[in-house]
Copies of this chain bind each other. A is one copy, B any other.
Amino acid sequence: MSKEDKDKIADEKLLDIANKWYQQMQNASIPYISLPTRTKHNIEYDEDSEVWKYGDKETLRVANSSKGAVHLLKMAYVVGFLKQQLKENRSSTLREMYYISEGWKKAKFSAQDESNHLVEDLEIITELSRESFHLRPEDDGATIYGPLKIREKTRRGDRDMHCQQDVGEGGYPIPNNVDNLEFIGHDAKFVIAMETGGMYARLMENGFDEDYDAVLVHLKGQPARSTRRVLKRLNQELNLPVVVFTDGDPWSYRIFASVAYGSIKAAHMSDTLATPGAQFIGVQPSDISNYNLPSDKLTEGDIAALKAELSDPRFDTEYWRSEINLQLKMGLKSEQQAFAARGLDFVTKEYLPARLSEMGIL
């Protein structure tokens, strides 16, 4: 779909909101919006799509109180601002929009949290992402390196970049709005997403991308939306398996889970952000003993997080139960860079090929 068509749909969705209010008033109803209740208690793991979604509980925001009326007023201002922004082909950060509300009198936001929350409400109502309205996050996405050719539609025209031949060692940085990307060619067999920059650089230096036709993606810790969206699209559009390589501790398993099953915070975006087919490659608790990796003792926080994962539906599989119980028993955790203790080539020549074969990817 062209950028113009996408903008047109976003514009129509915004107009729909205003139209509904207009109809409500014409029918002599007090204007309102209806949204799924956005608390932990209304988030469910959807077995069919294998991702987190909102449940059936609904919250109404009605202009029958001063609080409700001001809320709808704020939304009306945001709708107006975004509509104008689409018309002028501009974009802005969430932070800029917050400051712009300074000029909205009674509709001024009292804190950034409030405007962020309202934008998430808009995403739910319109079933579009904030990027569709040209709202940018503060943070960039991650970087990509590998046998993949990307066309990015920028404000200065199209840019075609091969993510090995046309980029430096920093790789190709994922822009905020991933929907401006097209994958125009590739020689890849799979995608490997890594938690740390050290491991990303290690695979690049060791030529793992060339030897195994792998697209390397640096997650930069808990991945940004744009990074998760790129992984989803690589999986869906190019049919590439996605594997996730993190440290071996409960916080890193959550990184994997947010890639594979979505996050509670963005449960309304799970369909576009989550890659249910993504597989965890390691560091597995069993690797710590099998490879005799340098390790640290689990902290009390780690133990509590592991126990919480045992009752998390995303980790409710035989594999995860057995690995997590093993880790609790050992009381140890290891980082992905700990493989360096066995030499700088061990991870790319031994560990990853063995795991990829086990997983049926090589």
Contacts and interface: CB of A to CB of B under 8 A. Distances in A.
Contact of A99 (B90, B99, B100, B294): B294
Contacts of A344: 90, 92, 96, 100
A213 to B, nearest CB: 15
B92 A197 contact: no
A184 interface: no
Interface stretch (A57-65, A167-175, A348-356): A167-175
A154 B166 contact: no
A167 B99 CA distance: 30
Contact of A159 (B92, B93, B168, B339): B168
Contacts of A90: 205, 344
A92 to B, nearest CB: 6
Interface string A331-362: 00001011111011000000000000000000
A115 interface: no
Given A143-B140, A197-B138, A337 B167 contact: no
Contact of A141 (B91, B140, B170, B176): B170
Given A197-B140, A202-B96, A341-B102, A170 B166 contact: no
B171 A99 contact: no
A197 B164 CA distance: 25
Given A152-B168, A176-B201, A99 B143 contact: no
A209 B191 CA distance: 35
Contact of A96 (B139, B173, B198): B198
A180 B169 CA distance: 10
A99 B136 CA distance: 39
A136 B168 contact: no
A67 to B, nearest CB: 23
Question: Ordered nearest first, which 6 A-B pairs have the shortest CB separation?
Answer: A170-B173, A93-B198, A96-B340, A152-B168, A102-B341, A99-B340
Given A93-B202, A103-B341, A159-B166, 4 more contacts: A99-B338, A100-B343, A170-B174, A176-B201
